[in-house]
Structure 1
Amino acid sequence: MLDNPVTVKPEARQQIQDTLRANKIPGEYGLRVGVRGGGCGSSWLLGFDLPGPSDEVYNVEGVQVIIDRKHLLYVLGAQIGYEPGGFTVEKS
């Protein structure tokens, strides 16, 4: 099992924690990170969700991150950030 397949930047961590608190989202929810679509037309999938049977759950910088095992290879090394307007994902 990987330690941290993705990185959560401090500003994103703060925003995630604030959003969870402000919306009174239950503690068992985490940030789902994945990809939508495939090939050149794929886009990032970010949202709050509950882990399911095909998911791996990681504690990344104090944030519960949920990644479907099928998406793990695609999200490996991604950096989740936040700027005015929303979350950002960069892949190195």
Structure 2
Amino acid sequence: MNAPVQITEKAQKEIKDIIDNKKIPKGYGLRVGVKGGGCGVSFILGFDKEKENDQSYDVDGIPVYIQKREMMFLIGKEVDFYEGADARGFVFVDQPKE
């Protein structure tokens, strides 16, 4: 099953570098989720163990965990890694239309 969130090659490389350099323990994967706010939701990334209500996916060797209740907010999103003069970091964007 394909993950509802796509992760670009650039973001995958950065995630793998973080896993290696920060010594993320075995059994942890990338948690992709949402956090509620006053005017909608914000997207979050972090490393976590798989939980009971998670859907789990493998994206090029990266375990990805998403809570089932957050799935609808993440469908059609893409995680990318932005590097510019003004900032650098992970960003959530709408997946390109085919």
TM-score of the pair, normalised by structure 1: 0.88
Q: How many residues align?
A: 91
Return closer, same or farther for 1:63/1:78 CA change in 2, 3 Å cut-off.
same
Which structure 1 residue ranges, 4+ long, deviate > 2 Å from structure 2?
38-41
In structure 1, the partner of 2:82 is 83
1:74 aligns with: 73
- 8 A Cα contact 1:58 1:66, kept in partner: yes
Shift of 1:6: 1.2
Larger radius of gyration: 2
Task: Name which of structure 1's ranges 64-73 and 38-47 shifts more when overlaid on structure 2.
Answer: 38-47
Deviation readout 1:45-75 (Å, 9 max, x if unpaired) = 1111111111111002322111001001111
Runs of 5+ unmatched residues, structure 2? none
Shift of 1:42: 1.2
Task: Give 1 or 2: higher strand fraction.
Answer: 2
More helix by share: 1
Is it true that 1:8 corresponds to 2:7 in the alignment? Answer: yes
Measure how far apart 1:27 and its partner are. Answer: 2.6
TM-score, scaled to structure 2? 0.83
**Cα RMSD after superposing both structures:** 1.5
Which residue of 2 is the match for residue 33 of structure 1? 32
User: Matched residues, percent identical?
Assistant: 37
